[in-house]
Amino acid sequence: DDDRVSKDEL
């Protein structure tokens, strides 16, 4: 799930 976290970045 950790890789989902930075998907909020551009």
Q: Which residues contact other proteins (rule: CB under 8 A)? A: 1-3, 5-10
Smallest gap from residue 10 Cβ to other proteins (A):
6
Burial letters 1-10, b for 16+ CB under 10 A, else e: eeeeeeeeee
Q: For the chain, how far is it from start to end, CA to CA, in angstroms?
A: 18
Q: What is the smallest separation between the CB atom of 9 and other proteins, expressed in angstroms?
A: 7
